[in-house]
Amino acid sequence: MNVSGKGTLLLAGGTDISSNIDLLFIATEYEYQDHGYLEHLGSEYDDGVEVQGYKVNKAGTYYIPVLDLNGNNYDAIYGISTQFEADKNTVAPNKPAVNKVDNNDKVITGKAEAGSTVTLTT
């Protein structure tokens, strides 16, 4: 899973009731290395679905390995879902655009992200 910046990653997983799966899943950094980019916030289990929360401290690619701890050899049903919400002001805004300016202009116009400050220098 690719994330765009700092924020919160939610990871949910569950199985169909009729299967004999003991599902294990986690969010991890590449090759299970711990650089402090992910911080596990906790888990909740309700009605057959486990939801895990992670604080993401750096943009990048994260991995979600899934294992059936019972080692079933049949096609069992399980599902994994992710959701990422970026912290405010951690994703770079789009570059502002300035309309053409010439020597006769008294006002500079253009477009920028709402609420941002644009400083022009000569």
Q: What pLDDT sits at residue 17?
A: 65
List the chain domain ranges. 2-86
In tens, the pLDDT along 41-99 reads: 999 988 878 999 999 999 899 999 888 777 766 666 788 899 999 887 656 677 888 88
Overall average pLDDT of the 16-43 stretch: 84
pTM score, two decimals?
A: 0.65
Nearby residues of 47 by Cβ (< 8 Å), 6 or more positions away: none
Per-residue pLDDT at 27: 92
